[in-house]
Amino acid sequence: MTMINLAHALEATVAIAPSREAVVCGSSRLTYGELDRAAARLAAGLAARGIGPGAIVALACPNVPAFPIAYFAILKTGATVLPVSLLLKADEIAYMLAHSGACALLCHSGLEMSTIGREGLAAFERTGTCSLFAWIPSEDGSRPADENSALEDLEADVDGYDTVNRSADDTAVVVYTSGTTGRPKGAELTHSNLLMHALMIRNHGKWGDDEVLLVALPLFHIFGQICQMVAGLSGGARLVLVPKFDALTVLQLIEAESVTLFSGVPTMFWAMLTEAEKDGIGAEALASLRSATSGGASMPMEIMRRFEARFGVEIREGYGLSETSPAAAVQSPGMPRKPGSVGSPHWGVQVRIVDAAGKEVPRGDRGEVVIRGHCVMKGYLNDPVATAEAFRDGWFHTGDIGIMDTDGCLFIVDRKKEMIIRNGMNVYPREVEEVLITHPEISLVAVIGVPHEKHGQEVKAVAVRAPGSQLDVADLIAWARERMGAHKYPRVVEFRDALPMNATGKIQKRALS
């Protein structure tokens, strides 16, 4: 039986470069040795309180040094990490704690505009299975004055900690999905899933040992957590942590810290581009960047084009889900890009396009994206029914609509559940969005289906105008009608000052209807 632990991703670098800088956040700078020693002290303290293999520990923390310290401490004990979104409310957190059987919650006291401390404590107090609560103090050292311990109170005075090895198929991290079709489900990602994935990300990108990663993606999300934090630390990179995304701050940090790699969701690139255009920031700000990767949602081609033209930095798209650790496909460095493609499957990962019966469709035809390989989760925690529905004939069914071309490049057309059926005809929101975003007075747009008595569903566009624009509804509809088929163009348009987004910057279409 293979015995491993995801914590080895950090420990391998500590063994060869303990004095190398690992984490930067504001005025705080930690070497690999310092990061590992802090994690070891906390691991020893957690183990002394009975936390070890079989236990699940919830972690609610922004992108500050305490996150990787607590994350690797939990792993070192052999326990499982349950990352908690900072945007959740008490009822949502309580559900995750109870459903998973988590025994502890390590909770940040909260950033400006964040209520995670209050919500986390309320969730803990109403969850009978959870026995330990500890505050992660704010960066100024403050925390609520109550009887609960602070993270540092849990630490043991030790020089090191003997990491508990686990079976390759044991669960390292439980990631709860967003719950678009009901209660969130907990994807069980194993030590093998995540360790192989981190190494694959690093090797595929041809990272050197001098890489500097700007981490603005929230670490509680699997994208930032594995593709940046774990992959970066496994290769000796320096991580520049950004507690809360702000476009101008990110642009300034890339220049100040000579960042070489940046990953984000499309709205982050849009925000950086908008800020740069407003303030006259040019290519010099991103001169140190060797690579930029977009994931989490489809990147509008117009935003990609404008970003690359302004900064001279090529954006490469990837594709995956929480259930696939997360990346299943990516555009390879040095390979020609195809507009709209998310690249080809990662090494050891198979991707097919199938019809409703699960039969593979011809290249170029649309169908559901299914995946198998080392990246795929072992199942949904405590939910055999959902697991059985997700896996059919050994393939994980994503619910995404895609096309595989003759060169093996994958194109994501849309979410299966977001497809609009108007008068019996399929309308793919992304296809409509790609046209609307080219309008010179549209800054950002999302397309959804809304109920219609006659047509079943109608196409609706919710858009943010470009600064200074006075574009009206009738003009946009007329413009769209000239450029799209009669069943595709939006008959309903709503203008807003901003679009609702989740913690990763992904547009929340459920809030638009």
Specify the higher pLDDT residue, 179 or 376. 376
pLDDT (0 to 100) of residue 178 = 65
pLDDT at position 142 over 90: no
- Stretch 472-492: mean pLDDT: 92
Residue 57: CATH number of its domain: 3.40.50.980
Is there a single domain that holds both residue 424 and residue 483? yes
Reading the block at residue 162, the tokens are 């003997």
- Check whether the bond before 218 is cis (ω within 30° of 0): no
Is there a single domain that holds both residue 412 and residue 431? no
Is there a single domain that holds both residue 449 and residue 389? no
Residue 399: CATH number of its domain: 2.30.38.10
- Asked if the structure places residue 235 within a domain, the reply is no
Is there a single domain that holds both residue 41 and residue 132? yes
**pLDDT single digits (tens) 101-140:** 999 999 999 876 578 999 999 999 999 889 999 999 988 8
- Of the three residues 155, 190, 225, the one that is the final residue of a domain is 190
- Asked if the structure places residue 41 within a domain, the reply is yes
Helix or strand holding residue 115 (H, E): none
Angle (CA) 82-86-87 rounded to 5° is 120
Specify the higher pLDDT residue, 254 or 509. 254
pLDDT (0 to 100) of residue 180 = 44
Domains contained in the chain, number? 3
**pLDDT single digits (tens) 454-479:** 778 899 999 999 999 999 999 999 99
**pLDDT single digits (tens) 51-68:** 999 999 999 999 999 999
The boundaries of the domain holding residue 136 are: 3-190
- Asked if the structure places residue 502 within a domain, the reply is yes
Is there a single domain that holds both residue 440 and residue 385? no
H helical segments located in 148-265: 151-154, 191-204, 222, 231-234, 247-256
pLDDT (0 to 100) of residue 80 = 98
The letter for the amino acid at 185 is K
Lowest mean pLDDT: which of 89-98, 210-219, 336-345? 336-345
Is there a single domain that holds both residue 169 and residue 179? yes
pLDDT at position 507 over 80: yes
- Stretch 213-240: mean pLDDT: 96
- Asked if the structure places residue 302 within a domain, the reply is no
In angstroms, the CA 257 to CA 241 distance is 11
- Asked if the structure places residue 242 within a domain, the reply is no
pLDDT at position 181 over 50: no
Question: What mean pLDDT, rounded, does the chain reach?
Answer: 93
Residue 483: CATH number of its domain: 3.30.300.30
**pLDDT single digits (tens) 419-457:** 788 877 778 888 899 899 999 999 999 999 998 887 788
Is there a single domain that holds both residue 430 and residue 452? yes
pLDDT at position 322 over 80: yes
Q: What is the largest CA-CA distance in the chain?
A: 71
Judge if pTM exceeds 0.85: yes
The SS3 of residue 393 is coil
- Asked if the structure places residue 208 within a domain, the reply is no
Is there a single domain that holds both residue 16 and residue 94? yes
Is there a single domain that holds both residue 106 and residue 121? yes
pLDDT (0 to 100) of residue 182 = 59
Is there a single domain that holds both residue 391 and residue 459? no
Q: Which residues pair with 415 in a beta bridge?
A: 400
* Strand boundaries in 266-362, DSSP class E: 291-294, 315-320, 327-330, 341-345, 349-354
pLDDT (0 to 100) of residue 511 = 86
DSSP state of 230: I
- Asked if the structure places residue 233 within a domain, the reply is no
- Asked if the structure places residue 89 within a domain, the reply is yes
Residues 6+ apart with CB under 8 A from 411: 338, 340, 341, 342, 402, 403, 404, 405
Is there a single domain that holds both residue 441 and residue 412? no
Q: Confidence band (pLDDT; 50, 70, 90) for 300?
A: confident
- Stretch 179-192: mean pLDDT: 81
- Stretch 35-62: mean pLDDT: 98
pLDDT (0 to 100) of residue 113 = 57
Specify the higher pLDDT residue, 453 or 85. 85
**pLDDT single digits (tens) 306-315:** 999 999 999 9
- Of the three residues 386, 403, 418, the one that is the final residue of a domain is 418
- Of the three residues 128, 159, 190, the one that is the final residue of a domain is 190
In angstroms, the CA 189 to CA 326 distance is 10
Is there a single domain that holds both residue 350 and residue 490? no
